[in-house]
Amino acid sequence: ISKELDNLRTLPCETLDGHRVALWANTGLLADAARAQAFGAEGVGLYRSEVAFMSSARLPSESEQANMYREQLEAFHPSPVTMRTLDIGGDKPLSYFPIKESNPYLGWRGIRVTLDHPEIFLVQVRAMLKASLGLNNLRILLPMISGVHELDDALYLIHRAWGELHEEGFAVEMPQVGVMIEVPSAVYQAKELLEMCDFLSVGSNDLTQYILAVDRNNARVAALYDYLHPAVLMALKSVVEAAHLQGKEISICGEMAGDPAAALLLMAMGFDSLSMNATHLPKVKWLLRQIRLSHAQALLSDVMRMDNPLIVHSTLSLALKSLG
- Footprint of ligand PEP (CB under 6 A): 46, 48, 87, 182, 203-206, 253-254
Which residues, including other chains, have CB under 8 Å from residue 161's CB and lie 6 or more apart?
A: 122, 125, 126, 129
CB of 167 to ligand PEP, least distance (A): 34
Rounded to whole angstroms, the Cα distance separating 47 from 69 reads 9
The residues, any chain, with a CB within 8 Å of residue 142's CB and separated by 6 or more, are 84, 85, 111, 150, 151, 154, 177, 178, 179, 180
Whole-number minimum distance, CB 226 to Mg ion, in Å? 17
- In the set 42, 50, 206, 255, which binds Mg ion (CB under 5 A)? 206
Segment lying near Mg ion (by CB under 5 A), choices 162-170, 200-208, 236-244, 308-316:
200-208
Side-chain half-sphere CA neighbours of 11 within 13 A = 20
Residue 254's binding partner, choosing from Mg ion, ligand PEP, none, with beta-carbon cut-off 5 to 8 A by kind? ligand PEP
Taking CB atoms within 8 Å and a gap of at least 24, the contacts of 97-105 are: 97/59, 105/209, 105/215
Helix axes 62-76, 30-38, angle to 10 degrees: 10
* Nearest approach, Cβ of residue 304 and Mg ion (Å): 25
Helix (H/G/I), strand (E/B), else coil: 250: strand
Q: Which is nearer to ligand PEP, 27 or 204 (CB)?
A: 204
Which contacts qualify for 208-211: CB closer than 8 Å, 24 or more apart?
208/232, 208/254, 208/256, 209/105, 210/182, 210/183, 210/184, 211/184, 211/235
SS3 259: coil
The partner in contact with residue 204, picked from Mg ion, ligand PEP, none with C-beta cut-offs of 5 to 8 angstroms by kind, is: ligand PEP
Q: Does residue 178 bind Mg ion (CB under 5 A)?
A: no
Q: Which of 203, 258, 282, 309 binds Mg ion (CB under 5 A)?
A: 203
Minimum CB distance to Mg ion, residue 216 (Å): 9
Closest to 280 (Cα-Cα) out of 256, 250, 315: 256
DSSP 184-199: HHHHHTHHHHHHHSSE
Comparing CB distances to Mg ion, the nearer of 19 and 139 is: 139
Check residue 150 for interaction with Mg ion (CB under 5 A): no
What's CA 7's distance to the chain center, in Å?
26
Residue 50 binding Mg ion, by CB under 5 A: no
| Minimum distance, C-beta of residue 16 to ligand PEP, in the bound complex (Å) | 29
**E strand residue ranges, 138-242:** 138-142, 176-181, 199-202
Q: Which CB, 42 or 182, lies closer to ligand PEP?
A: 182
253 contact choice in Mg ion, ligand PEP, none (CB below 5 to 8 Å, kind-dependent)? ligand PEP
Total residues in contact with Mg ion, by rule CB under 5 A: 3
- 153 CB-side CA count, 13 A: 14
The site partner of 282 among ligand PEP, Mg ion, none (C-beta below 5 to 8 Å per kind) is: none
Which of Mg ion, ligand PEP, none does 32 bind, CB closer than 5 to 8 A by kind?
none
Shortest Å, Cβ 92 to Mg ion: 9
- Least gap, CB of 114 to Mg ion (angstroms): 14
How near is the Cβ of 203 to Mg ion at its closest, in Å?
4
Decide whether 206 or 272 has the Cβ nearer to Mg ion: 206
Q: Which residues bind Mg ion (CB under 5 A)?
A: 182, 203, 206
